[in-house]
């Protein structure tokens, strides 16, 4: 018989010791678990076989295949679909000989070296690999393993294409799926492997369904291939003109819908960031407590995380807010202020990158360079020192690796989605003489991402798309926004801020940085969509 075709989307590893009273495996199956691995580390062989047979009988009713962890003898005795082995268990070639050609065989890998060794096995030995641990987990002993993070999983995916994972829950699954896509070969995960996220839940069915929906939405989104800007201009049309037309529509959308923009920003610019948000027509809320951040997430239009004056308490709020925004499909702008300046900022920056998926990363040359591991520029406080030889290539590379939009601000602004790069040359030297101009730009970009999301969903509704294809809370629409609409949202924010700065600098009442700051807020309020599009200096590289 041929080996069974398995859907690895939601791969449940059993953990009976974690089950809350009155809960059962069947609830998880009802929620959408697609494959079950029976894992019993301390059970005697006879009981292990009995448990596996009972699990198989239940799973057969739902058409869900069963695998056994480590034990070939138990798998053969219970008649299940196959086994999963670790690096310290029986070697894969011997395991394949024992279980036969018709069974499924999976292998855990946690390093690039282990992945390279796995792909050198004879063809047909392995059916899949499990990559992990991605994050720390209380349900398995991973104390001797390095936590990969999504980007580490992506590096392994450059070596192998088919995977499952461990150490995952509903808060970080969206980031894991999007953040672990391999940067070189665009390989992606087939699913997520979980234990406590479902087994320990007070509502296993709902937990399984949420994970199942997230994986299904990611798979739909990852198969969606939108050529750069094809949604904005017909074949042979004026792509840049169509983009600017959309920028104008987003300016009107912000003022019409007044999106709530949650901002965890640095203490130096809280007042200015709130004021420019109000000036363009959005509504700011500057909450930092982690409990506030989770509760707010369902109602916001977008989230800004600015780590300029990060503290232990605001860091907790950033983690909670970013993860909640991912779960709720809300755009996230991350402004990694001075991320390369100190060891503390480098460490917290990496922790934030491993906690949630940003929609936009916005920073100056030193900040973007630090994230891209460039040595051409360095940080002096919040300023950049040095010059990038090819800024367009750098932002394109980082955007592709991080699966997001990258906005690099400076005398020239560069915006990329990993495929196309836009260069914008609006602005004024007075912006460099006031504190927080870059931070305010992040606030405005967040306003326009919220508008881009609303505009996109309205546009999809006008086209008659069904909810399954474009769920308001699903990652499919978020991923498609990231590929096109979010790029325009970021462009709209950068242009609006910089054109307003040019208009402010022309005013006769502006005598220097102090009067310029006040005039900038006035012009953010007064600038029209027509003016932004008329004075925009943008080129597609």
What is the pLDDT averaged over residues 409-426?
93
* 291 against 169, higher pLDDT: 291
DSSP state of 360: E
pLDDT tier at 474, thresholds 50, 70, 90: very low
* 436 against 191, higher pLDDT: 436
Please report the pLDDT score of residue 323 as a whole number: 85
Please report the pLDDT score of residue 162 as a whole number: 45
Please report the pLDDT score of residue 379 as a whole number: 54
User: Is residue 252 exposed (0-12), middle (13-18) or buried (19+ Cβ within 10 Å)?
Assistant: middle
Residue 313 has pLDDT above 80, yes or no: yes
What is the pLDDT averaged over residues 310-336?
90
Please report the pLDDT score of residue 65 as a whole number: 92
Please report the pLDDT score of residue 468 as a whole number: 43
State how beta strands 377-380 and 383-386 pair.
Answer: antiparallel
Please report the pLDDT score of residue 221 as a whole number: 52
DSSP state of 139: S
pLDDT tier at 43, thresholds 50, 70, 90: confident
Helix or strand or coil: residue 401? helix
Q: Burial code of 513-539, b = ≥16 C-beta within 10 A, e = fewer? A: eeebbebbbebbeebebebbbeebebe
pLDDT tier at 218, thresholds 50, 70, 90: low
What is the pLDDT averaged over residues 289-303?
92
Residue 187 has pLDDT above 80, yes or no: no
* 219 against 525, higher pLDDT: 525
Please report the pLDDT score of residue 242 as a whole number: 81
CA distance linking residue 473 with residue 458, whole number of Å: 14
CB contact at 8 A, 493 and 422: no
Task: Report CA 253 to chain centroid distance, whole Å.
Answer: 25
pLDDT tier at 420, thresholds 50, 70, 90: confident
Residue 154 has pLDDT above 70, yes or no: no
Cis peptide bond upstream of 70, omega within 30: no
Please report the pLDDT score of residue 403 as a whole number: 78
pLDDT tier at 82, thresholds 50, 70, 90: very high
Residue 418 has pLDDT above 60, yes or no: yes
Q: Cα separations (Å) of 118 from 114, 142, 214, 383, 396?
A: 6, 20, 28, 45, 32
**Hey, how many other C-beta atoms are within 10 angstroms of the C-beta on 22?**
7
Query: What is the percent of the chain where pLDDT is above 90?
Result: 45
CB contact at 8 A, 168 and 9: no
CA distance linking residue 540 with residue 360, whole number of Å: 19
pLDDT tier at 168, thresholds 50, 70, 90: very low
State how beta strands 421-424 and 538-540 pair.
Answer: antiparallel
Helix or strand or coil: residue 462? helix
pLDDT tier at 287, thresholds 50, 70, 90: very high
CA distance linking residue 209 with residue 217, whole number of Å: 12
What is the pLDDT averaged over residues 12-17?
78
Q: Kindly report which listed range (182-191, 494-503, 509-518) carries the lowest average pLDDT score.
A: 182-191
* 458 against 98, higher pLDDT: 98
Please report the pLDDT score of residue 189 as a whole number: 61
Please report the pLDDT score of residue 144 as a whole number: 52
Residue 216 has pLDDT above 90, yes or no: no
pLDDT tier at 164, thresholds 50, 70, 90: very low
Q: Kindly report which listed range (195-204, 251-260, 445-454, 530-539) carries the lowest average pLDDT score.
A: 195-204
Helix or strand or coil: residue 107? strand
Please report the pLDDT score of residue 139 as a whole number: 45
Please report the pLDDT score of residue 374 as a whole number: 80
Report pLDDT digits (tens) over 247-275.
999 999 999 999 999 999 999 999 999 99
Residue 150 has pLDDT above 90, yes or no: no
Given the residues 293, 439, 447, 533, select the one marked as catalytic: 439
CA distance linking residue 290 with residue 315, whole number of Å: 9
Please report the pLDDT score of residue 160 as a whole number: 56
Going along the chain from its start, the domains and CATH numbers come out as 10-223 (3.20.20.70), 257-462+482-540 (3.40.1190.20)
Q: What is the DSSP string of 406-436?
A: EEE-SSSEEEESSS-EEEE----GGGGGSTT
E-assigned strand segments in 239-331: 260-264, 283-285, 302-306
pLDDT tier at 508, thresholds 50, 70, 90: very high
Long-range residue pairs from 223-228, CB within 8 A, at least 24 positions apart, any chain:
224/476, 224/479, 224/480, 224/483, 226/480, 226/483, 226/484, 228/417, 228/419, 228/420, 228/484
State yes or no: is 439 an active-site residue: yes
Structure tokens at 48: 């292990």
Structure tokens at 327: 């779960």
Mean pLDDT of the chain, nearest integer: 81
Q: Where are the alpha helices (DSSP H) in 79-224?
A: 92-99, 112-119, 149-157, 173-179, 196-199, 204-222
pLDDT tier at 228, thresholds 50, 70, 90: very low
């Amino acid at each position: 018989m041929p080996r069974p075709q398995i859907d690895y989307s939601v791969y449940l590893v059993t953990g009976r010791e974690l089950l809350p009273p009155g809960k059962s495996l069947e609830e998880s199956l009802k929620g959408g678990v697609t494959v079950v691995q029976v894992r019993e580390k301390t059970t005697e062989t006879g009981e292990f076989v009995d448990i596996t047979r009972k699990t198989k009988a239940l799973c057969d009713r739902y058409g869900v295949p069963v695998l056994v962890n480590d034990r070939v003898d138990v798998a053969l005795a219970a008649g299940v679909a196959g086994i999963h082995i670790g690096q310290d268990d029986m070697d894969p070639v011997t395991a394949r000989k024992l279980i036969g050609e018709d069974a499924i065989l999976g292998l855990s890998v946690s390093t690039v070296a282990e992945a390279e060794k796995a792909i050198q096995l004879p063809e047909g030995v392995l059916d899949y690999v499990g990559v992990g641990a991605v994050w720390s987990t209380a349900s398995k002993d991973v104390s001797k393993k390095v936590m990969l993070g999504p980007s580490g999983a992506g590096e392994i995916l450059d070596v192998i294409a088919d995977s499952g994972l461990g150490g995952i829950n509903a808060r970080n699954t969206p980031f894991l799926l999007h953040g672990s896509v391999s940067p070189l070969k665009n390989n992606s995960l087939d699913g997520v492997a979980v234990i406590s996220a479902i087994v320990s839940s007070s509502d296993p069915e709902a937990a399984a369904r949420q994970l199942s929906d997230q994986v299904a939405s990611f798979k739909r989104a990852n198969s969606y291939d939108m050529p750069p800007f094809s949604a904005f201009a017909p074949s042979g049309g004026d792509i840049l003109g169509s983009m600017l037309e959309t920028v104008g529509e987003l300016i009107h959308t912000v003022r019409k819908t007044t999106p709530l923009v949650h901002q965890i920003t640095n203490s130096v610019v809280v007042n200015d960031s709130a004021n420019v948000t109000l000036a363009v027509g959005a509504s700011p809320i500057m909450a930092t407590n982690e409990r506030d951040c989770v509760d707010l997430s369902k109602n916001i239009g977008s989230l800004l995380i600015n780590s300029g004056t990060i503290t232990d308490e605001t860091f907790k709020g950033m983690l909670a807010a970013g993860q909640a925004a991912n779960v709720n499909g809300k755009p996230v702008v991350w402004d990694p202020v001075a991320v390369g300046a100190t060891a503390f900022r480098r460490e917290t920056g990496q922790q934030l990158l491993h906690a949630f998926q940003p929609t936009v990363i916005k920073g100056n040359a030193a900040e973007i360079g630090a994230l891209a591991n460039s040595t051409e520029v360095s940080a002096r406080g919040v300023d950049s020192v040095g010059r990038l030889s090819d800024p367009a290539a750098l932002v394109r590379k980082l955007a592709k690796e991080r699966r997001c939009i990258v906005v690099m601000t400076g005398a020239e602004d560069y915006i990329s989605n990993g495929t196309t790069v836009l260069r914008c040359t609006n602005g004024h030297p007075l912006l460099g003489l006031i504190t927080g101009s870059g931070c305010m730009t992040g606030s405005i970009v967040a306003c326009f991402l919220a508008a881009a999301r609303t505009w996109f969903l309205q546009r999809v509704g006008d086209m008659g798309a069904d909810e399954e294809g474009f769920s308001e809370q699903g990652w499919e629409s978020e991923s498609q926004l990231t590929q096109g609409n979010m790029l325009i949202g970021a462009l709209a924010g950068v242009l609006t801020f910089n054109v307003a700065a040019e208009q402010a600098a022309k005013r006769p009442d502006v005598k220097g940085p102090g009067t310029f700051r006040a005039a900038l807020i006035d012009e953010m309020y007064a600038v029209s969509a027509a003016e932004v599009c008329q004075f925009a200096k943008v080129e597609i590289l």
